[in-house]
């Protein structure tokens, strides 16, 4: 049986959450996502869960559909959370059988860790289920408009968010198609042992990420060509060569890919500096120490692959939309 992915698909209903101003929904969801990571007691966790379920009830979105949209991530979080049950040795011993020992802190983190992330993911899923992409785009633009007053590209950033949200359903459909193709080749991700599933999902993730990068670069170059049609026509009239006309678009795609790769490297550094220590505290059974040569190879690989995808996406876009 093929795995179907449902993500980012707006559900038209008449509820208070649907009618709420998108800017208010974004602000509340962001506040909840930040707050859940400060949960430290069972009472705080219970209040967070009660709040999340109350929001789901107000949205009138069927709980089953919400669960389907976040199920893959929640299952992964539960598996990771279970490791805390056996590997966190702090606190009073609740159960002991040979080398296996379950402690009070291990039990707490096994429950708290998945539920905290589930609440955050649930808020994000509800935003997408109760708000149209157009409303979200307008909300992002309204929130980012103050940046334009200080010379920062607020409108362009809002357009990036719009493109990202526009392609979430497309990416979900593409992921389902890739999974179907993988299943037809005998690499089903829903069958076999856990190790077999991990090996099967690897090619799917690589293909999906490459598709995402290609689509965004292709769409950006297409928009640039459309915006410069008058300029291209003038260059043709004065006898500009095909290479002269195509060069700026090729360079634009390359620079965008290089900027995206640099942003990925910066994000990875930020994750290693900020997020990894918190994960180390939650997942004490795992070691997050990475050798310097591994990090250097990862950085170089991100930059090289990003530049290749940028050049390839630009070439395809120019072949399709630039008639010179």
CB 214 within 8 A of CB 312: yes
**Per-residue pLDDT in tens (0 to 9) along the chain, 324 residues:** 444 445 556 778 888 888 888 888 888 888 888 888 888 888 998 999 999 899 988 988 888 878 877 777 777 777 777 777 777 667 787 777 766 777 888 788 888 888 888 888 888 888 888 888 778 878 877 887 777 777 776 676 677 666 666 666 666 666 667 667 766 766 555 565 555 555 656 666 666 666 667 767 777 777 777 777 788 788 878 887 777 877 887 787 788 778 878 888 888 888 777 777 766 665 555 566 667 777 788 888 878 887 887 777 777 777 766 665
How far is Cα 94 from Cα 99, in angstroms, rounded to an integer?
Answer: 14
How far is Cα 216 from Cα 167, in angstroms, rounded to an integer?
Answer: 9
Q: How many CB atoms lie within 10 A of CB 322?
A: 19
How far is Cα 141 from Cα 23, in angstroms, rounded to an integer?
Answer: 10
CB 257 within 8 A of CB 307: yes
User: For 4, phi and psi rounded to 5 degrees?
Assistant: -100, 135
Helix then strand count (H, E) for the chain reads 13, 2
Name every residue whose Cβ is closer than 8 Å to that of residue 40 and which is 6 or more positions away in sequence: none
pTM of the model: 0.57
Residue (of 59, 45, 185, 61) closest to 119 by Cα position: 45
Which H/E stretch holds residue 35?
helix 22-35
């Amino acid at each position: 049986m093929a795995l179907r992915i449902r993500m980012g698909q707006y559900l038209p209903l008449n509820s208070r959450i649907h009618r709420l101003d998108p800017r208010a929904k974004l602000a509340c969801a962001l506040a909840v996502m930040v707050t859940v990571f400060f949960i430290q007691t069972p009472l705080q966790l219970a209040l967070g869960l009660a709040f999340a379920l109350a929001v789901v009830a107000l949205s009138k979105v069927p709980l089953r559909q919400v669960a389907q949209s976040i199920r893959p991530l929640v299952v992964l979080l539960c598996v990771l959370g279970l490791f805390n049950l056996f590997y966190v040795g702090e606190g009073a011993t609740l159960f002991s059988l040979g080398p296996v020992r379950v402690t009070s802190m291990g039990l707490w983190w096994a429950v708290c860790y998945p539920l905290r992330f589930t609440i955050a993911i649930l808020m994000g899923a509800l935003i997408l289920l109760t708000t149209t992409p157009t409303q979200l785009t307008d909300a992002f633009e309204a929130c980012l408009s103050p940046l334009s007053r200080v010379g920062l590209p607020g409108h362009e950033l809002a357009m990036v968010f719009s493109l990202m949200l526009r392609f979430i359903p497309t990416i979900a459909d593409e992921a389902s198609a890739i999974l179907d193709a993988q299943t037809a080749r005998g690499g089903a991700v829903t069958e076999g042992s856990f190790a077999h599933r991990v090996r099967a999902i690897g090619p799917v993730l690589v293909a999906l990420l490459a598709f995402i990068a290609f689509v965004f670069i292709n769409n950006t170059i297409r928009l640039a060509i459309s915006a410069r049609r008058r300029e291209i026509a003038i260059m043709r009239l004065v006898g500009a060569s095909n290479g002269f006309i195509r060069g700026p678009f090729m360079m634009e795609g390359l620079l965008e890919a290089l900027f995206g790769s640099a942003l990925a490297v910066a994000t990875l550094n930020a994750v290693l500096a900020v997020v990894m220590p918190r994960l180390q505290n939650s997942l004490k059974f795992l070691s997050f120490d990475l050798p310097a040569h591994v990090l250097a190879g990862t950085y170089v690989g991100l930059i090289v692959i990003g530049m290749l995808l940028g050049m390839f996406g630009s070439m395809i876009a120019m072949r399709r939309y630039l008639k010179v």
